[in-house]
Amino acid sequence: MVDVNGIRLHIAEAGEGPLVVLLHGFPESWHSWRHQFGPLAAAGFRVVAPDQRGYGGSDRPEDVSSYSILHLVGDVVGLIHALGEESAYVVGHDWGAPVAWHTALLRPDVVRGVAGLSVPPPFRGDRRPLSVMEAMFGGRFYWNYFNLPGVADAELARDPRTTLRKALYAASGDGPEAGTGRQPLVEPGQGWLETMPDPGQLPAWLTEADLDSLTESFAGSFTGALNWYRNIDRNWELTAAWHGAVVSPPALYVYGDKDLVAAFPGTSQLIEQLPELMPSLRRAPVVLEGCGHWTQQERPAEVNAALIPFLMNLRDLRDLRDRKERAEAE
């Protein structure tokens, strides 16, 4: 447990060397990075994955506004400093990706390099996102459903293990709608889980023990995690000063070709334009064939094969620069 930004965060940690912070998404926990700890530590990095605020063993503030992007970035910056470091490499998946991207955008002085899985870098639009989705899909987009007070909270907490099993399977590359481009809509009178299939057998990348760990981390409550969605429009308002700004630290983006996020309105076009829009991107977006939304869990070897060389190259360049500066100073 680490005291950070006025709350306590539970972290998992391994290895020694330059700090790499791994940020999970929804509905997950630090455990989603289980396949990255060993390889990153073996490559000479200190790896830390927190349960982000509202999740797992970390604090869950009651105030919805306590889950804004500024709070979440503050948690990452505070964690880096609480661990005795001035800067770190920051990697995020799903909701963790916007947190990683915004940490690099708002505090490039503490981010040596940034990588996002599934969700591409942020380019702030001209209108409030929830209003856009409300108009586009008549309020049926799952973001809008998650913003109904108490409704999704009750549905997801009714049977947490079933919730997680269905959600993980449905959004994976193994799900029956993987790669179809169908939008995640919730029809009036239905719940988010209602049309999701319940797999008779878990996909190969997810074990019953993994599901046990994840189920335990939610302890019957999803409200803290859902509060992230309840700040989407607030985040748009809070980031007005960075409208038009571009992530400047060296960056990597990885996604699966069957990820539902890649089919969100406008996302595929954004991904195609990323090399031109973001000069700090060190290579073209890495596309994992047959991979769904749970990138680092579904394709751990491929994610590690992209992530570790990216981080090692940045580390080596930094070490070379530091040696040069010391030589010049002497």
- pTM of the complete model: 0.96
The number of domains in the chain is 1
What is the set of active-site residues? 94, 293
Pairing of strands 11-14, 19-23: unpaired
What's the CATH number where 298 sits? 3.40.50.1820
Query: For residue range 199-224, what is the model confidence (pLDDT) as tens digits?
Result: 989 999 999 999 999 999 998 799 99
Query: For residue range 80-133, what is the model confidence (pLDDT) as tens digits?
Result: 999 999 999 999 999 999 999 999 999 999 999 999 999 999 999 999 999 999
Residue numbers of the domain that contains 97: 2-329
**Is 81 in contact with 31 (CB distance < 8 Å)?**
no
Could you please report the per-residue DSSP string of 11-44? EEEE--SSEEEEE--TT--GGGGHHHHHHHHHTT
Cα–Cα distance, 221 to 55 (Å, whole number): 9
Q: So what's the pLDDT on residue 321? A: 80
